[in-house]
Structure 1
Amino acid sequence: MDADDEELLTRSARDTDAFEALVIRLSGGLHGYLARRAPDAADDLLAEVWLQAFTGRAGFDADRGTARAWLFGVARNVLAGHWRRTAQDRPDAHRHEPDSSDPWHAVDQRLDAAALAPQLRDTLAGLPAVERDLLLLVAWEQLTPTEAADVVGIPAGTARSRLHRARGRLRTALTSPNSLRPAGEMA
């Protein structure tokens, strides 16, 4: 029987081969997460995730959550650092806007539903950062709400409540009569 991810991560503190197996198993999902959020830097960010995870692997506690959630938390922190550095490098960055380092304006370029993309983008951008992260971790990365809660650092019950609220806001925005109009067209 194969070892589960938690066992591999715990064992990797004394056996680096266990860490290698974890890298092989979970790189695809982590890379997808990073590629959807920072397509031009995903490869480098994934390398940074694995470097930080390897360095901090002894701090993993299976009683506090899954290895997958812990690794997505590392990825989220690496991504946030990338966005902070990117925003600092851009003199035209609007630092007074909340989450100005989070590139939500690029999400609609990767959506199949092009007609709804502007409204979806605006609705996602209008969500509080934690709700948006929860929604995307569950929808895109296929994490459970409990795993997503671990990633963003909130209790599972709170995550489920915020996820429900975020889904409701999206549902309302996408089912309103204006959601079927092309972008820029007035009622």
Structure 2
Amino acid sequence: MLDDRALLTAWQGGDERAGRTLVERQYEAVVRFFATKDRAQAPDLIQQTLVKLVESVPRMPQDCNVRAYVLGIARHVLYDHLRATYQSAARIDFRERSVADLQPGPSSILARERQTRLLLQALRQLPLESQLLVELYYWEELTGGEVADILGMPEGTVRTRLRRARHLLEQAITRLAESPELLSSTLTDLDGWAQRVREELRSA
């Protein structure tokens, strides 16, 4: 089976079948990316991201991490969408404002497990940049360097902000937990949350 870089090279050489295979491989990561941001508009945002991916293929370095590159496109699509949708969003600092700030009200994400629901709710309370950091690093298992490329900042800054984001996530869980037992069980198993949330989003 060809890896992503080999498929990209083939696609750039005119192999449309390789292109379709590569897009299919990235689809789930893009779906996860938008599922916790604006689920109602997610289909359109996913489509925009994939269109921009196709348009950017001739410019993509052949040695790039394709998933990181695609998620970088998704980030730009998301920010453009938020700025166009919400009044004065163009002036909002995404390092400080969360999805919940821009979309007040109960989350539309349905989760079967109380822990998963709590984690998703807490994640949406984070400043958007912090939410992106946590998802890219823990969900998509990208390296610090790859996350740095997506966010356009030094790797050292990414690692510092990731530690802060993790701390903010724990604080949000503490605020939202309905009981001491739920709080304890969630924080104790926080390192296993990514796989559970990924599976929940896949089945939703």
* TM-score (ref. length: structure 1): 0.72
CA–CA distance in structure 1, aligned partners of residues 81 and 97 of structure 2: 9
Secondary structure (helix, strand or coil) at the match of 1:46 reads helix
RMSD between superposed Cα atoms in Å = 3.2
Aligned-pair CA distance for 1:115? 6.5
Match of 1:103 among 90, 99, 106: 99
Q: Structure 1 residues 70 and 4, CA, compared in 2 at 3 Å: closer, same or farther?
A: same
Residues 167/12 of structure 1: CA separation in 2 closer, same or farther (3 Å cut):
same
Unaligned regions of 5+ residues in structure 1, if any? 88-92, 183-187
- Offset from partner CA, 1:101-156 (integer Å, 9 cap, x none): 8633559724744668777655x13xxx5333212222344433332222112232
CA 97–150 in structure 1, closer or farther in 2 if over 3 Å, else same: closer
Matches of 1:58 and 1:172, distance apart in 2: 44
1:185 corresponds to: none
Structure 1 SS opposite 2:40: coil
Q: 1:150-169 to 2 correspondence within 5 Å?
A: 150-169=149-168
AA in 2 matched with 1:19: G
**How many Å separate the matches in 2 of 1:141 and 1:172?**
23
Indicate whether 1:69 and 2:64 are aligned: no
Q: Does 1:4 align with 2:24?
A: no
| Aligned positions of 1:10-25 closer than 5 A | 10-15=9-14, 16-25=16-25
Deviation string for 1:58-114 (max 9, x for gaps)? 111144x40110000011111111112212xxxxx3546534986335597247446
Give the 3-state SS of the residue equivalent to 2:132 in structure 1.
helix
1:174 positional shift: 4.6
1:40 deviates by: 1.0
TM superposition shift of 1:24: 1.5
The residue type equivalent to 1:104 in the other structure is A
Query: Does the 8 Å contact 2:4/2:66 carry over to 1?
Result: yes
Q: Structure 1 67/170 Cα, relative in aligned 2: closer, same or farther at 3 Å? A: same
Alpha-carbon distance in structure 2 between the residues aligned to 1:3 and 1:33: 25
Q: Distance in 2 between matches of 1:20 and 1:149?
A: 27
Kindly, what percent of the aligned residue pairs are identical? Answer: 30
Which stretch shifts more, 52-61 or 155-164?
155-164
Larger mean CA deviation between 144-153 and 68-77 belongs to 144-153
Q: Distance in 1 between matches of 2:93 and 2:58?
A: 34
SS at the partner of 2:67? helix
- For residue 137 of structure 1, what is the aligned residue in structure 2? 136
Q: 2:200 is matched with which residue?
A: none
* TM-score when normalising by structure 2: 0.66
Kept after mapping to 2: 8 A contact 1:8/1:19: yes
Q: Is 1:38 equivalent to 2:30 in the alignment?
A: no
Secondary structure at the residue paired with 1:3?
Answer: coil
